[in-house]
Structure 1
């Protein structure tokens, strides 16, 4: 089956704005009108400006940057001056000097202030009234406070301070409905500000001089006290040169440390020999195994004599007997040599023992000397630290004293010289033209604001709109082809009677062409095995146009076939009213057996269409639609008519249509463009598939033709009726 062309994707933001151009332009015109009305309604205001020069650094003859430095933090200094120009103290002085309370520009406002009360001012007045009723009555304090505070706020609100970029100039402006008052206030503000600045500088200098005098005396006393503590410490510790004494002790410590290291090395060398000698005890033979003893010259000589005598004795042993004079002599010589050798071994061992003990005592003595030297250095370091602390205190107090003395002399020398860094460059003149309102600017600005507001509201509405807009969306949500798209027709709900007859009354309309396209889709869906005879038209929700579509489809099918239109919406039937037919008898009477079938079928006066209304006094519609009587009725009607079109209730609200959807040959789902939510359409398609309904396709109803023309697929709307 060939499919009709469908609409393209959603229009671009520019297209959306173009489609809502009249709404946007309407908001722009409203905004421009409001701007024009405001410019005519608001009272004109005049602005007078005085130019000040606020230099970042005062021209001092002598540098006193620490006493009064206006350039230490330039940005903060300038901002401070701007806030001082708008201070309440300065505004109060302006109100007093120019008598603004009695000025005609504020007379009405002051009178209104007197009649009103604020909570804070009322509490002040109540406090004074409670504790000093005579003063409250005499001065009328409550009204005075409310009037003065409100008037100050009004003056500060009308005063503006604007720095000139990349300069030290500042424009001080005042707005007022009275041009002369605007110039007077602007000039009075800068005059008072310059006077207060000079007075403040003089007061600061005098205050600085008094403060420096006090600090100078305190620092002098602190310096004397620190010098006295330093001298007392030197006398108590008998210190002349801590650094020199420490150097001598360090040299002595270095020498003793070297000797201690050498003594420890000698003791370590003798320690092993000493342990072996102690282990040998009285066994002289074991002393021969100690290398250091064998290195002694006397030990070597006696050992050599001993070995020679031993060798001689061993040579005479085999030849002579024990008592032979020669052997007796050799034996005596051997005994003497051995005694001498062993004696020398003992003497050398005793000497090494004495050397070890001497080395051990030497190490102990040297360690005590090193410890005493180290303690002396530590004592000297502590004294040197205390000395440096006292010296730093003296130095700091001396520098502080000299600084205060120098600042005091500088301040005293410049007391009579106070050059200011604030000057008036241009005084305010009486303005000739108002600065506000500016009608053209207001009209353009409000119009542009309305234009952008309209664009934003349109785009926001489009973004938040979750309804089905195009056939592509509907096809994607339902998973079925789009059978046709029907345009949105102007008119109210009262024109529904005309809509069901659109095919007859206006056959060349775009709507009628869409219905014929739907008929073509139905006819093309006919198959040899199962023709499309039972056609159910349903929708997700009410007011989506299913009744009008089913009626016109039945009318256009009846042009060449025998067609029956049945109203199965037993809860809210409409066909009888729309076609101007009697409501009863109808479907309900047939199913309940109250009337014969032929009596319940009515002929449409125009065309070859037969209509069966829902009937009247309907009860339990779900029971009737799910009964075997309804199934039998469908079989009977299918034998008598070539096509049967069913107008059904919404599938999302009730399940009536789902009960007999599987008995149909084709189900057409209707969705209203820009009206039915996407999730509602998708849910309706799921319900129909769950009920095993033969879903033929979907119809997008009430399509905005202008939006359809923005898509490539909506080209047929441009031509209307062709042929």
Structure 2
């Protein structure tokens, strides 16, 4: 049987990167809106509870300025001072403000351990310093040298008292530290000056002792002289070596060419010799003259004899000149080699002398540098020691309080509006994260994008869920309710199949799915009715011999009629199994009795003959087959059909399960036309399918035509 599968020649392109439109985000939010709403409600509730339970806290701030430089009286200040302009210095002071030692001093100064307002209900062993650290913070203002010391407390007066007390103690501590550092520096200078005085004497004595030992007053000058001579000799040796290598290469090339039988006069190194070049030109001219005479005379002719004799004489001279040129090349090589060898020993001696002086100079320079370094340090210490008497008792401080803290009139927290807003925003963010997490975790087939991306096939139509209908009415919705959205979907499916390339040659269509319960029988029956309404003679075959349903949908009593299984097993006539559906141009073959070997029956020659015969009588044959992932019944029918409609239930199966079923069909060479996404719940998921959303219907297109169809069906029944 010849099958037309030209519609498979076009590869369905799937973009490598799916660009998500902003509508997709809105759709995801709408789908999982209750997660987001619940998260927002929980967040708002927690925010209200937090505001209700929160205790008012007051905040007082004392700004302290750190001056960049203190007044300079003498240079000695550089000994004790650090770079007060650096960010590290400012950040260090902020950390000092947060230290426990400062907190303990403030507790002692303000007598906070005996103040019941500071830590109400605290005992004698309470950690007052830790409590103070917990309520005090320090922050450096951006772009300034001001540190804000902030205290927070449930008592506004206590907040101001603590902020001012910490600032005062901090300024006092800084002054004490700077004075202590200055005194320590003076004592250190005195000790270091004595040590470096002794060290300087030792360093200078070591330099003098080394000069006497080497018997050289100026090692630097001696080393420079030897080094200059070494450079000159290295240059001469390099030139001699290059000359030797050049002449050696030339000599070896000449030898190699001569040994290979090459004419000496043609060797470039020999041919470039002046005498050889002149004789070679003379020989060439003579050979030309002999050639001219030979055209007119024989070799015995007197003029010819003279010319040949002269040519022979030039050739002999050329050979002698070549031998002489070879000797010249050899002599040049010997001279260059001897010149190179004559420089080896003096150069080595000069290098030895330079190395010896270099070793002496290394030790000398080390001793000299030590002495110079000790001298500089000692002189610097002496200068600082002279200033120490002036600055020893000088007190200075580079910090002061700008504005003492005042008692706050209103609490700083809780900020009820901000807390509630924050709780709602966090709830919203959590809801968004959970919504998108639920969306991406949900890997069931539910959109056209899923069909195209994961199954690699076009979506032919989207069938909405048919509610408040019996099974029979749903299976014949195109006939019973032609104005419904589902009826319009099947009409669209009929038109899409009709627009398929070579649609006229696609007579036998198979309808299958991945698993049971996806609505393939509903799609098959309504698609058959849609073809029949298009005035196409249509035969609907229920090939699901395991779980048949079409006899129920069309309310056929199986006790009085025969079906496909009886036709294939018992050999009854086709007229006995082809039944009128009650719809014009639509006939049905029900499944009949449940068979034990349905796959063998569907793959039998009798089934093939039935399809071939009915192709001649009907415009369309629709075969409802079992799911491909469950049994192999549908596989045996693949060679008999020209097109397959694959039905997928909305949000029922995982993508990988459906993809495996589609892959199985493709591997068998199945002529897949496309997919039908069935049973879409527009009430909950209308955002995916906005053309269907709401109560949109098509009376303009269907009212008159629908009445005509129903009337024609009534006429056919009568």
TM-fit CA distance, 1:167 = 1.7
Q: What is the SS of the residue equivalent to 1:722?
A: helix
One of 69, 76, 82 as aligned partner of 1:70: 82
One of 692, 698, 701 as aligned partner of 1:720: 698
Residue in structure 2 matched with residue 13 of structure 1 by the alignment: 21
Moved more, 469-478 or 684-693: 469-478
| Match runs of 1:644-655 below 5 Å | 644-655=621-632
Question: Is 2:558 the partner of 1:546?
Answer: no
Question: Is 2:633 the partner of 1:659?
Answer: no
What's the TM-score, normalizing by structure 2? 0.59
Residue in structure 1 matched with residue 284 of structure 2 by the alignment: none
One of 465, 477, 481 as aligned partner of 1:506: 481
One of 418, 426, 434 as aligned partner of 1:441: 418
TM-fit CA distance, 1:676 = 7.5
Structure 1 residues without counterparts, runs of 5 or longer? 112-138, 255-370
Task: Sort the Cα spacing of 1:558 and 1:226 in 2 relative to 1 into closer, same or farther, 3 A.
Answer: closer
How many residues are paired up? 546
Question: Is 2:464 the partner of 1:488?
Answer: yes
Whole-Å separation in 2 of the counterparts to 1:94 and 1:618: 97
Whole-Å separation in 1 of the counterparts to 2:428 and 2:636: 52
Task: Sort the Cα spacing of 1:205 and 1:665 in 2 relative to 1 into closer, same or farther, 3 A.
Answer: closer
| Match runs of 1:453-468 below 5 Å | 461=439
Whole-Å separation in 2 of the counterparts to 1:105 and 1:594: 104
1:682-722: per-residue Cα shift (whole Å, max 9, x none)? 77666556656565555454577655558xxx999966343
One of 134, 149, 166 as aligned partner of 2:143: 166
Whole-Å separation in 1 of the counterparts to 2:659 and 2:195: 92
CA contact (8 A) 1:62 1:410 kept: yes
CA contact (8 A) 1:71 1:77 kept: yes
Task: Sort the Cα spacing of 1:697 and 1:487 in 2 relative to 1 into closer, same or farther, 3 A.
Answer: closer
Whole-Å separation in 1 of the counterparts to 2:653 and 2:644: 18
Whole-Å separation in 2 of the counterparts to 1:201 and 1:184: 26
Whole-Å separation in 1 of the counterparts to 2:506 and 2:377: 114
Moved more, 456-465 or 544-553: 456-465
Whole-Å separation in 2 of the counterparts to 1:538 and 1:101: 87
| Match runs of 1:320-399 below 5 Å | 396-399=373-376
One of 377, 401, 404 as aligned partner of 1:427: 404
TM-fit CA distance, 1:14 = 1.8
Task: Sort the Cα spacing of 1:670 and 1:50 in 2 relative to 1 into closer, same or farther, 3 A.
Answer: same
TM-fit CA distance, 1:79 = 1.3
1:513-565: per-residue Cα shift (whole Å, max 9, x none)? 12133345667889999783x44212345554322211322444566788664
Residue in structure 2 matched with residue 51 of structure 1 by the alignment: 63
Moved more, 400-409 or 417-426: 400-409
TM-fit CA distance, 1:425 = 1.5
CA contact (8 A) 2:563 2:589 kept: yes
One of 78, 82, 93 as aligned partner of 1:81: 93
Whole-Å separation in 2 of the counterparts to 1:545 and 1:685: 17
TM-fit CA distance, 1:168 = 1.0
TM-fit CA distance, 1:677 = 7.8
Whole-Å separation in 1 of the counterparts to 2:204 and 2:670: 112
TM-fit CA distance, 1:663 = 2.4
1:195-237: per-residue Cα shift (whole Å, max 9, x none)? 3222222322232232222222223333455566678889x79
Give the root-mean-square deviation of aligned CA atoms.
5.7
Q: What is the SS of the residue equivalent to 1:17?
A: helix
Q: What is the SS of the residue equivalent to 2:81?
A: coil
| Match runs of 1:259-658 below 5 Å | 396-445=373-422, 447=424, 461=439, 469-470=447-448, 474=452, 484-489=460-465, 499-520=474-495, 532=507, 534-542=508-516, 544-557=518-531, 565-571=540-546, 573-575=548-550, 591=568, 614=591, 619-628=596-605, 630-631=607-608, 644-658=621-635
CA contact (8 A) 1:39 1:442 kept: yes
Residue in structure 1 matched with residue 48 of structure 2 by the alignment: 40
Whole-Å separation in 2 of the counterparts to 1:568 and 1:16: 40
Whole-Å separation in 2 of the counterparts to 1:528 and 1:161: 81
| Structure showing greater Rg | 1
Residue in structure 2 matched with residue 257 of structure 1 by the alignment: none
TM-fit CA distance, 1:681 = 7.0
Whole-Å separation in 2 of the counterparts to 1:447 and 1:397: 71
CA contact (8 A) 1:538 1:647 kept: yes
CA contact (8 A) 1:50 1:172 kept: yes
Whole-Å separation in 1 of the counterparts to 2:488 and 2:30: 29
Task: Sort the Cα spacing of 1:613 and 1:186 in 2 relative to 1 into closer, same or farther, 3 A.
Answer: farther
What's the TM-score, normalizing by structure 1? 0.59
Task: Sort the Cα spacing of 1:94 and 1:651 in 2 relative to 1 into closer, same or farther, 3 A.
Answer: farther
Whole-Å separation in 2 of the counterparts to 1:465 and 1:168: 58
CA contact (8 A) 2:112 2:118 kept: no
Task: Sort the Cα spacing of 1:638 and 1:431 in 2 relative to 1 into closer, same or farther, 3 A.
Answer: same
Residue in structure 2 matched with residue 669 of structure 1 by the alignment: 646
Whole-Å separation in 2 of the counterparts to 1:382 and 1:609: 117
Whole-Å separation in 1 of the counterparts to 2:61 and 2:545: 82
Whole-Å separation in 2 of the counterparts to 1:563 and 1:384: 110
1:102-159: per-residue Cα shift (whole Å, max 9, x none)? 9688679x89xxxxxxxxxxxxxxxxxxxxxxxxxxx9xxxx7xx85xx877754554
Whole-Å separation in 1 of the counterparts to 2:72 and 2:210: 45
Whole-Å separation in 1 of the counterparts to 2:556 and 2:163: 86
